[in-house]
Amino acid sequence: MDLTGKVAIVTGVSSGIGRATAEALLAHGAAVAGWGRHAPEGLDHDRFQFFECDVRDEHAVAEAFTNTQRELGPEVHVLVNNAGLGIFGPIDGFKSEDWHTMFDTNVNGLFYCTRAVLPQMKKQHEGHIINIASLAGTAGTANLAGYCATKYAVRGFSDALFKELRPDGIRVTCVMPGSVETHFNGKEPGPEPDPTKMQPQDIADAIVHALEAPQATMISEMQLRPTNVK
């Protein structure tokens, strides 16, 4: 897909992979609707518009989509389901509210956003949905059982969805990064890039690569790992 003039929605746009993806899409000529609870500081571009949206609330998602179409036009070509969070800890001490918060954001929110865009994408017979999962969706890790469960769900949803939507000309890609230097789990990126972690821009570049693949080619899954290890 040539991204020039296309409309893309990016969830969880305030920081990390979401912000980097919005910036990469803008650099490739797209108009970007950034959805999130907080606006990204300093992201000022004539083709970027922020819409406040908590993806856990299906009514908020529907409203954000209506506002996006009103401001950027009816066509929507790209959805990047990036909003997500991880809460770690052993299951026997895990809070039910934390479990529900992760599933409401990582799984239910992704469903609400996907459902919102599909009628328009089907009408266009064109669209590309990017779901940000994790390598935690490929192998379990101690004290990450809840987070892994959500990302396994994202991967399974993505696999079924691409098969469902192929006849409609809509592509689906599940992106599964390993260690990325972000504020994930409350961590602060250091003053210098960590050579053993990928940067948000690296994931954004991979997303653009998948989007710009020839129309006859669908990259259904991407696993991304740091080249250098500790």
Residues with catalytic function: 147
Q: Are 64 and 83 in contact (CB under 8 A)?
A: no
Quickly list DSSP for 114-179. Answer: HHHHHHHHHHHT-EEEEEE--GGGTS--TT-HHHHHHHHHHHHHHHHHHHHHGGGTEEEEEEEE--
Query: What sign has the CA pseudo-torsion 151, 152, 157, 163?
Result: positive
Q: What is the dihedral of CA 204, 205, 208, 212, to 10 degrees?
A: -170
Decide the pairing of beta strands 127-132 and 31-36: unpaired
